[in-house]
Amino acid sequence: MLSVVMATRNGSRWIASCLQAFCALEAPPGGYQLIIIDNGSSDGTADIIRAFQDRLPMLALYCATPGRNRALKMALQHIAGDLVVITDDDVLPAPDWLKAFHGAASRMPEIGVFAGQVRHHWQRKPPRWLLDLAAQGRAYAGTPIDQPDGPIDASQVKGPNFMVRRALLDRFQFDEGIGPDGTRNYAAGSETSLLLAMEKAGIGFHFVSGALVQHIVRPNQISLRAMIARYFRIGRGVQRMGLKDSVNPQAKKLFGYPRYALRRIVELLVKAGLCWARRDTTAAAGKLISGAALAGAAYESRRQKPSRETPKARPC
């Protein structure tokens, strides 16, 4: 059996579309179970979940304390499958999604983590620069459009669509201090530390293009402001986990922030302005989100106590 796990919090505007797509799934050999954890929703999410319980092989749980990773950890004791797919409440899986994952796991027993393809379901027409970034794998957890099947590293796994062997979740834990926590300005990267620990232990990773989901991108997310806010959160997560692109909190400071990081942010802003003047909006947006990630890391560094630890690895 294969188990699918998702956490949801106040997802009433999109989870019905997600569960409707689950109703069209082709069951993999041995079947599957869907575990949904309502992470303290205050809207109509719980009612929508109940409406689908007779239509899906579903187990519904409730975790009152906000925190995606906290909710996912609650689900572990209820997992019945040897393979566990981690996904989000705003995806639209292809009908053969689980079959593709199951087939890959059967063919490659030596691999521990399988990453699926993530395309986008735009609820409003996106600008060209956002389409370009999405094709590059730099927007809303999408994978590069030309990503081939084959070995990958942990940084290429996208949170809404990956599968691990159940035994690994007994050895490696989700970090409750990272990821969505009920606030707007959280440190992003809920699965990153888990996957990097697996990679460090020598676990193999493989990309499966046939295991496809579409990630719903809502109208309020289709803007440069929303992308900048998202990358700011990513930068916070990078810094909190001490990854490769984190800033040095012991560097000389200006107004409490690493001076070299502020200088680099200004450089990126200037370059973005020049790109925009040339009407190269894709390059300009790329500079701006890079600057936002660095700003998030600098912000998080100001909140941290000085540490002598060296950065460990690159982010997901």
pLDDT in tens, 106-120: 999 999 999 999 999
* pLDDT over 60 at 309, yes or no: no
Last residue of a domain, one of 221, 252, 267: 221
**Greater model confidence, 213 or 247:** 213
Answer whether residue 313 is part of any domain. Answer: no
Q: Are residues 156 and 194 in the same domain?
A: yes
What is the structure's pLDDT at 307? 47
Residue range 2-19: mean pLDDT, rounded: 96
Please tell me the pTM assigned to this model. Answer: 0.91
Domain span including residue 282? 224-303
120 domain residue, yes or no: yes
The answer to whether the CB of 150 falls within 8 A of the CB of 206 is: yes
Least confident of 6-15, 115-124, 218-227, 255-264: 255-264
Q: Is residue 314 part of a domain?
A: no
Q: Has residue 308 been placed in a domain?
A: no
Residue 147 in this model has a pLDDT that exceeds 60: yes
Position 311 in a domain: no
Angle, vertex CA 138, rays to CA 130 and CA 294, nearest 5 = 105
Which of 95-109, 128-142, 149-163, 253-267 bottoms out in mean pLDDT, i.e. has the lowest? 253-267
Residues 183, 112 share a domain: yes
- Looking at the predicted structure, is the pLDDT value of residue 151 above 60? yes
Q: Inform me whether the pLDDT recorded for 35 exceeds 50.
A: yes
Q: What is the CATH number of the domain that holds 213?
A: 3.90.550.10
Residues 117 and 193 in one domain: yes
Q: Angle, to 10 degrees, between the axis of helix 224-241 and the axis of helix 281-303? A: 40
Last residue of a domain, one of 159, 186, 221: 221
User: What domain count does the chain have?
Assistant: 2
Per-residue pLDDT band for 271 (boundaries 50, 70, 90) equals very high
Q: What is the C-alpha to C-alpha distance for residues 209 and 207, in angstroms, rounded to an integer?
A: 6
Do 261 and 208 lie in one domain? The reply is no
103 and 129 housed in the same domain:
yes
**Domain shared by 191 and 53, yes or no:** yes
| DSSP-derived secondary structure for the chain | -EEEEEEESS-TTTHHHHHHHHHTPPPPTT-EEEEEEE-S--SSHHHHHHHHTTTS-EEEEE--S--HHHHHHHHGGG---SEEEEEETTEEE-TTHHHHHHHHHHH-TT--EEEEEEEEEESSPPPHHHHHHHHTT-STTPPPTTPPSEE--GGG--TTEEEEETTHHHHS---TTSS--SSSS----TTHHHHHHHHHTT--EEEEEEEEEEEEE-GGGSSHHHHHHHHHHHHHHHHHHT-TT---TTS-EETTEEHHHHHHHHHHHHHHHHHHHTT-HHHHHHHHHHHHHHHHHHHHHHHSPP--PPP-----
Asked if residue 312 is part of any domain, the answer here is no
User: CA-CA distance, 193 to 190, in Å (whole number)?
Assistant: 7
Structure tokens at 63: 């975790």
Q: 195 and 232: one domain?
A: no
Tens digit of pLDDT for each residue in 190-201?
899 899 999 999
Give yes or no for a contact between 178 and 82, defined as CB atoms under 8 angstroms apart. Answer: no
What are residue 180's phi and psi, to 5 degrees? -50, 130
- Structural domain includes residue 316: no
Last residue of a domain, one of 174, 203, 221: 221
